[in-house]
Chain A
Amino acid sequence: DAGVIQSPRHEVTEMGQEVTLRCKPISGHNSLFWYRQTMMRGLELLIYFNNNVPIDDSGMPEDRFSAKMPNASFSTLKIQPSEPRDSAVYFCASSLGHGYTFGSGTRLTVV
């Protein structure tokens, strides 16, 4: 298995632009998580899905952030419009209930 695949690995965008981050979980895993990591706030849970259904999105910072999971093999995290304070590393993780497998992350820089 190739593990959790995230794309792109790096994204540099201008303030105000729309950004879409993508994640392909491990086949068969029924839970998917989006995290954001910054030096100031550490690892923050943004949203998680169980069987493609959003369960808890209380960590989504504001309405500019949205996440979807249209099927078991794909999820997106969208930021529109992006702001410099959104700069962070965004991780996707999937699980079948015994330990979580993380992707390599997307490093987002908003200038």
Chain B
Amino acid sequence: SQQGEEDPQALSIQEGENATMNCSYKTSINNLQWYRQNSGRGLVHLILIRSNEREKHSGRLRVTLDTSKKSSSLLITASRAADTASYFCATVLISNFGNEKLTFGTGTRLTIIP
């Protein structure tokens, strides 16, 4: 079953603009991760934010996490054509025994128009 719901399902913007994608989830988490998937390819890990963090940056990526609202956002600044892909949030729950379970959201299809 899906843990996260992403919004919007699809997003098209002009190259150079910023892209914002949102993710909402249902249960407590230990951390939240964002992944990118190019068409027909595997998923690539982008960034991880822990439950006690509120914001994290990596290059042109900015991720926020609001555990009270059970939501996260991914901002891609100064978008490029190469950013065209599907983006997924994934929540991680670590059990009392230390086992991790990664559950993906529904994804946002981002298209950058040159």
Chain A residues in contact with chain B, CB under 8 A?
4, 31, 33, 35, 42-45, 48, 50, 55-56, 91, 93, 95, 97-105
Which A residues touch B98, using CB under 8 A? 50
- The distance in angstroms between the C-alpha atoms of A55 and B88, with both chains bound, is 24
Judge whether B33 and A100 touch: CB under 8 Å: yes
| Complexed CA–CA distance, A109 and B90 (Å) | 27
Chain A residues within 8 Å of B106, by CB: 42
**CB–CB A104/B41 < 8 A:** yes
Interface membership of B114, Cβ < 8 A: no
Stretch in B19-27, B42-50, B69-77 touching the partner: B42-50
How far apart are the CA atoms of A91 and B104 in the complex, in Å? 13
Q: Do residues A43 and B88 form an inter-chain contact, with CB atoms below 8 A?
A: yes
Whether A45 lies near B102 (C-beta < 8 A) is yes
Chain B, interface residues (CB within 8 Å), range: 20 to 34
Q: List 20 A-B contacts (CB under 8 A).
A: A31-B100, A33-B102, A42-B2, A43-B88, A43-B107, A48-B102, A50-B98, A55-B95, A55-B101, A56-B99, A91-B43, A93-B43, A95-B100, A95-B102, A100-B33, A102-B35, A102-B42, A102-B43, A104-B41, A105-B41
Given known pairs A42-B2, A42-B104, A42-B107, the reply for A102 and B99 (CB within 8 Å) is no
Choose among A45, A95, A104, A105 the residue with the greatest number of B CB atoms under 10 Å from its CB: A45
Interface residues, chain B, with chain A CB atoms under 8 Å away: 1-2, 33, 35, 41-45, 48, 88, 90, 95, 98-107
Q: Which residues of B contact A100 (CB under 8 A)?
A: 33, 43, 45, 90, 102
List the 9 shortest-distance A-B pairs measured between CB atoms, nearest first.
A102-B42, A99-B45, A43-B104, A102-B43, A55-B99, A104-B42, A50-B99, A42-B106, A105-B42
CB-CB nearest in chain B for A103: B42
Nearest B-chain residue to A92, judged by Cβ: B42
Q: Measured between alpha carbons, how far is A62 from B114 in the docked complex, in Å?
A: 45
The smallest C-beta distance from B23 to any residue of chain A, in angstroms, reads: 13
